[in-house]
Amino acid sequence: MKNLTRRQFGKTLATTTAATALTTTLPWQKALADVGKPKLLEFPKGFLWGCATASYQIEGAVAEDGRKPSIWDTFSHTPGKTFQGDTGDVADDSYHLYKEDIRLLKNLGVSVYRFSIAWPRVFPDGSGAPNPKGLDYYNRVLDELLKNNITPYVTLFHWDLPQALPGGWQNRDTSKAYADYAGYVAKHLSDRVSHFFTINEFECWTNLGYQEGRFAPGLKLPNAQVNQIRHNAVLAHGLGVQAIRANAKAGTQVGLAENTKVFVPVIENAEQIKAAQLAQREENAPFLTAVLEGKYTDGYLQREGANAPKVEPGDMKIIGSPLDFVGINSYTPGYVEADSSPSGYKVVPRPTSFPRMASANWLFIGPEVLYWAVRNVSEIWNPKALYITENGTSSDDVLTADGHIEDTDRVMYVRNHLTHLHRAATEGYPIKGYFLWSLLDNFEWADGYSKRFGLHYVDFKTQVRTPKLSAQWYKEAIAKNAVE
C-alpha cells in the first residue's frame, strides 16, 4: 500500500474492516445472537409421558351395568356437600366416550395413561360376587389403549369406596375386602396391565373425608378414630400388594400413588437439605414413611400417644411389603429451615404474598417441588423407580368466540415444573415418567365442575371436548422429549 494516497489507504482500510466484520463473529455478537434461542432440556431416552384421570371423576354411568353406589355418590347427592350440588352421575361420560378420550391421548402422543378402576363396578357390594359387566368395561378400555400403543397404568382405589361395605374404612374388614378386590382384578387384567397402583393419596381422602368432613363420607371424627382409619388404609395397601403378587402374571409391578408432603430447603446447603429430609420423613409418618419403612416413626407414636393406631401382630410387615415403584402426586411445596429443636427442622409458614393460582387458593406456585419430591424420596428410601403420577393446575379457562382456550397460566405452570423435574432426571435419580393431571376437565370432588384441570375443555352439557393451548404445548414437549 506504499503507493496509495492517505485518502485511498483510508478507504481500503474501511472496506477491509467492514468485510472482516461480515465474516467474523465477535464473542459479544455470538452471545447476543444466542439470546432468545430456545434451550432444549432433554429428558432421558425412554422417559414416559402420560396423563392421569380417576373413575368417579370422568366415567359417569353410575347406575349402568350393575354398578352400585360409592360413598361419593352418596356424598355428592347430599345437599350442601358439593359446589352447586354437582355430582358424578354423568361427569365426562367417559363410560360411553372412552374411545374418543383415547383418541385424545393418541393425538397428544402419550405413551402411558393412568386411570382408575371403580371398585363398585367390579364388586357392587364391595365384596361377595363380582360383576362381570363391570370388568368387561375395563377390558374394552384396555384393548382400545393397547390398539393405540398406549400402555395402561391402573389405580385400584381412587376414593370411590363401595357404599355397601359395613363401616367403610372405619372397619378393619374393609382392608381385607380391598385385597380380595385387588387380587381379582390383577388376576383378570394383568395379561395386559403391567403396573398397578394400589391406593391413591392416603393423606387426602383420610384427612378430608374422616377428619375435616369436606370429602366423602363427610365425617369429623376424633383423632384416635382417624388414626385407626389411616392404619386400615395402609394395611389395605399392604394386603393389596400381596394379593396382586399372588394373583397377577409374573413380572407385574406394584406401587402406590401418594400426595406426600414435599419439603424444600429454603437455602440449598447441607444443613438445610438434611432438615428438609427430616421433615419429609416425619411429616409423612402415617403414610409413605410407614409403607416404605414398615414401621411408624417414634416421633409419630409419641405425638399421638393414646390416640396412636392399634396395631395387630404382623400388620407392619404387611404394610411394608416391598414395592417396585413409588408414585408421587405433587402440586405445591412446603418449606423448612434447620433449627435446634429435637426434630431438627421447623416448617416455614408461607407469607400472605406467596404466589398462588388464582383459580385454586391452595395451589401455591413453587415449581422446585418436583425436584425435591424426587430427590428427598430417593435419598431417604432409595426406591427402585419413581413416577410423578399427578401434577397440574386448575385455570379459569374461557372458551373464546372462535373456539380457543388460551390457558397460558397452565402452560407456564407445567413448563416450569418440568424444568425442575429435568434437573432430577439429569442428576441420576430414578424418575421414569410423568403423568399430567388431567386429560379432561372433570368432576373435581367437592368443587364439582367449578375447577378445570384438563388439557381438554369439556362442555358438560354437550360433552364436546376441545383441546386447550396447553394440549398443543404438551404434545410438542412429548414429541421432543424435552422442555424449552
Task: Work out the number of other CB atoms within 10 angstroms of the CB of residue 420.
Answer: 17
In a domain, 361, yes or no: yes
Would you list the DSSP string of 70-107?
A: BHHHHHHTSTTSSGGG--SSSTT-HHHHHHHHHHHHHH
pLDDT at 24: 59
Q: pTM of this prediction?
A: 0.93
Give dist(CA 301, CA 292) in Å, integer: 17
Q: In this structure, what DSSP letter does residue 123 have?
A: S
Range of the domain at 386: 40-483
Peptide bond into 162 cis (omega under 30): no
- Expressed in percent and rounded to 5, the helix, strand and coil fractions of the chain are 45, 15, 40
| Amino acid (1-letter code) at residue 306 | A
In a domain, 213, yes or no: yes
In terms of Cα–Cα distance, which of 233, 158, 155 is closest to 195? 155
| Amino acid (1-letter code) at residue 184 | Y
Give dist(CA 426, CA 44) in Å, integer: 8
Element housing 188 (H / E): helix 173-189
Return the active site residues: 201, 390
Q: Is 128 helix (H, G, I), strand (E, B) or coil?
A: coil
In a domain, 455, yes or no: yes
In a domain, 7, yes or no: no
- 345 - beta bridge partners? 338
CA distances from 5 to 9, 12, 16, 73, 202 (A): 6, 11, 16, 97, 89
User: How far from the centroid of its chain's Cα atoms is residue 76's Cα?
Assistant: 23
Enumerate residues 6+ apart whose C-beta is below 8 A from 308.
227, 296, 300, 301
pLDDT at 39: 84
pLDDT at 22: 47
In a domain, 15, yes or no: no
Give dist(CA 115, CA 144) in Å, integer: 13
List the grid coordinates of 229.
382409619
Element housing 17 (H / E): helix 6-23
Virtual torsion, Cα 480, 482, 483, 484, nearest 10 deg: -70
pLDDT at 35: 65
In a domain, 347, yes or no: yes
Give 92-131 pLDDT, tens digit per residue.
999 999 999 999 999 999 999 999 999 999 999 999 999 9
In a domain, 467, yes or no: yes
In terms of Cα–Cα distance, which of 324, 321, 348 is closest to 265? 348
352400585: which residue's cell?
A: 68
Give dist(CA 290, CA 59) in Å, integer: 32
Give dist(CA 434, CA 147) in Å, integer: 22
pLDDT at 55: 99
Give dist(CA 310, CA 229) in Å, integer: 10
Give dist(CA 296, CA 285) in Å, integer: 6
- 387 - beta bridge partners? 327, 433
Enumerate residues 6+ apart whose C-beta is below 8 A from 338.
271, 272, 274, 275, 344, 345
User: How far from the centroid of its chain's Cα atoms is residue 214's Cα?
Assistant: 21
- 437 - beta bridge partners? 52
User: How far from the centroid of its chain's Cα atoms is residue 90's Cα?
Assistant: 23
Give dist(CA 301, CA 260) in Å, integer: 19
Q: Are 196 and 257 in contact (CB under 8 A)?
A: no
Counting as low any pLDDT under 70, the low residues of the chain are 1-37
Q: Is 21 exposed, middle or buried (0-12, 13-18, 19+ CB in 10 A)?
A: exposed
In a domain, 277, yes or no: yes
Give dist(CA 238, CA 292) in Å, integer: 11
What's the number of domains the chain is made of? 1
In terms of Cα–Cα distance, which of 247, 229, 255 is closest to 385? 255
Q: Is 364 helix (H, G, I), strand (E, B) or coil?
A: strand
Q: How far does the chain reach from its first CA to its final CA, in angstroms? A: 52
Q: What is the CATH number of the domain that holds 345?
A: 3.20.20.80
